Structure 1
Amino acid sequence: MFAAPLSAQVLAPEPVPEEEVVDATAESGFEAWLSTYRASAQARGIRPETLDAAFTGLHFSPRVVALDRNQPDDSGVATLFSDYLSKRLEPVREARGRAARERHAAKLAELEAATGVPASIVLGIWGMESSYGAVTGNFDVLRSLASLAYDGRRRELFERELTAALTMLDKGLATRERMKGSWAGAMGQPQFLPSSFVASAVDGDGDGVADIWESGDDTAASIANYLKRAGWQRGLGWGVAVQLPADFDRERVRDLVQPRECVRVLAKHSRWVPLSEWKKLGLTRADGNPWPADNTLATLVEPDGPGGAAYLTFGNYRRLLDYNCSNFYALSVALLGDALK
């Protein structure tokens, strides 16, 4: 999969982290790990003075590790998508989305023409990630990334992100003070992880700087650029809400191939089936609109299981999962975007 922001779903105001009481053994282990990591970062070309400035006073955060183990749709804890969605598609967020759509209409149209990524999808991600800049997180990004790398559950990922964050500092792409964000190290209005910033952040307002913290045009352009680089297909859309017949046999479409990435999330998808076959199986569009082309491949997703909402998702839906591997997240982005069309 494309290198994803792993946005960590910053969807409600995060409190400024309080001082944590850290177990002495954990802190000692963290310091030993940090010393070893520092040597490898310096070997990769990060300047010693950058490392000094970044690591002075850096401590392990058990709170960040605890948050990493309690994500919706990936924690093993039962959470209903209907409950999740009702807290995201709410009047304040939609009002902010409409204001952003009007304020950046020209740029969104320009981006859609250039990249094929619809304005609605850009707005959906922007709204889900930071409520259009209102909530960007108060965690120290370097502390979060270092703590998660030391924890080891996803060490390779977070060591890579920590190195990318240090690269940003080393090249002057951001200041140490600016690197505040989610507990997972995601920053700015699009909640990019450092590697995504390095790869996809672009200047959208013409001032020569990619500023995802303050510039709305840069934020929109960076989101569109990310999805384009990830493989968004122009004109396809993300999917459609559907209704299933009462006697629908899910075994007929069960995917027998075990997913190799995003396993818990993709395990809730059917196999790929053309729309022509879905229609023969009795599925209808919930909104009554015309279907896309019959040869369009789609997977069935029922986030709350049989009897709940159901969606046929196209290839572009996987690009939303690249951004954050959660069906709850990707569907919320898509549905928020649809509401803002």
Structure 2
Amino acid sequence: MSGKTEGGATERGFSKFGFAFFLAALAVLLTLPARATPIDNQFQAWLQNDLWPEAKAKGISKKTFDAAFIGVKPNLKLPDLVMPGEKPATPQKQHQAEFGPPANYFAEKTIRAVTGGGRSRESANARVLGLIEKRYGVPGEIVLAIWGRETGFGAAKMPYDAFEVLGTKAFMSTKKDFFRTEVLAALEIVERGLAPVNAMKSSWAGALGQPQFMPTSFLKHAVDFDGDGRPDIWNSTPDVLASIANYLVHYGWVRGRGWGTEVIAPANVSCALEGPDQGKKISDWVAMGIRRVDGKAFPASELKAEG
């Protein structure tokens, strides 16, 4: 039951006037800026008093700097962070898959998806891949494999603001110096007009676009292969594929040389020798009894190879 009070308002719930007042007050509250936390304030002070002077000295304009960090706060959900004034309690776990066991990185389920996706895209990109191989000497199947493994041929989402990730990590990660270099490189990308601020989308580690280049790698290796005036590794398939090939060439890819071969290992060779940190000269592997499946001799035995 409900009775009437003076003025006609009901005793139960809001009057029409009271409800309207509540909505108006709620709207005002929602428009108020969130209260800055101590860590937010420290981050802003670091940006202006520490990072900005170095960025300015490297030729970054205040316009670019402010546009990159407008509304940016430290993202405390990112891994490998240490609060200011503290030290990491235990060694940080490596989160990137390529630094884990090779058996996991090359799991059959994952590789099957990459090989299937690569075959389905090979004909659609045949012309571009042919031009890339002619210029860089990297076969199309190698470029496709890396594209597929890094971002599922561009299907993987890049949900992070690169400046939020790189800024947070430069401010409070376990590798501050590394990420400081990277955030300065990201600012240079924008300053040079190679990408606008709103295009700078990254992974949680700050890697950009479909090839997953860190900003310093973008500056060294990204290619404008479609001829539109800038290297777009987020949206342009020709730019993505050519940038991957260019990266490999810069890291020693030799035209006409194979990337690897299937081998037979004797029982006394430990599987613990596999992985990117276990490279040896080919002559050393041969001395341990490693043989090619096809029976052919290994080339250039002083080259290093990984198991």
Q: Give me the TM-score of the superposition, normalised by structure 1.
A: 0.67
AA of the residue aligned to 2:178:
L
Q: State yes or no: 1:293 paired with 2:307.
A: no
- In the aligned structure 2, how far is the partner of 1:106 from the partner of 1:127? 18
Three-state SS of the structure 2 residue aligned to 1:121 is: helix
Q: State yes or no: 1:269 paired with 2:278.
A: yes
The answer (yes or no) to whether the contact 1:22–1:62 under 8 Å persists in 2 is no
The answer (yes or no) to whether the contact 1:136–1:187 under 8 Å persists in 2 is no
The answer (yes or no) to whether the contact 2:159–2:201 under 8 Å persists in 1 is yes
Partner of 1:50: 64
Which one of 284, 291, 294 corresponds to residue 284 of structure 1? 291
The structural deviation recorded for 1:65 is 3.0
AA of the residue aligned to 1:282:
G
CA deviation map 1:202-244 (0-9, x unaligned): 1212333322122111111111111112221222222223221
- In the aligned structure 1, how far is the partner of 2:204 from the partner of 2:238? 25
Equivalent positions of 1:12-161 (< 5 A) are 24-35=37-48, 36-66=50-80, 69-72=93-96, 80-86=101-107, 87-91=109-113, 93-161=114-182
Three-state SS of the structure 2 residue aligned to 1:225 is: helix
Pairwise CA RMSD of aligned residues?
3.0
Relative to structure 1, is the Cα distance of residues 200 and 280 closer, same or farther in structure 2, using a 3 angstrom cutoff? closer
Relative to structure 1, is the Cα distance of residues 82 and 56 closer, same or farther in structure 2, using a 3 angstrom cutoff? same
Three-state SS of the structure 1 residue aligned to 2:111 is: coil
The structural deviation recorded for 1:139 is 0.8
The structural deviation recorded for 1:141 is 0.5
AA of the residue aligned to 2:206:
G
Relative to structure 1, is the Cα distance of residues 187 and 270 closer, same or farther in structure 2, using a 3 angstrom cutoff? closer
Q: Over alpha carbons, which structure has the higher Rg? A: 2
* Unaligned segments of structure 1, at least 5 residues: 1-20, 255-264, 302-341
Which one of 193, 205, 223 corresponds to residue 172 of structure 1? 193
Relative to structure 1, is the Cα distance of residues 300 and 163 closer, same or farther in structure 2, using a 3 angstrom cutoff? closer
- In the aligned structure 2, how far is the partner of 1:197 from the partner of 1:107? 20
Q: Give me the TM-score of the superposition, normalised by structure 2.
A: 0.74
% identity of equivalent residues: 36
Equivalent positions of 1:188-207 (< 5 A) are 188-207=209-228
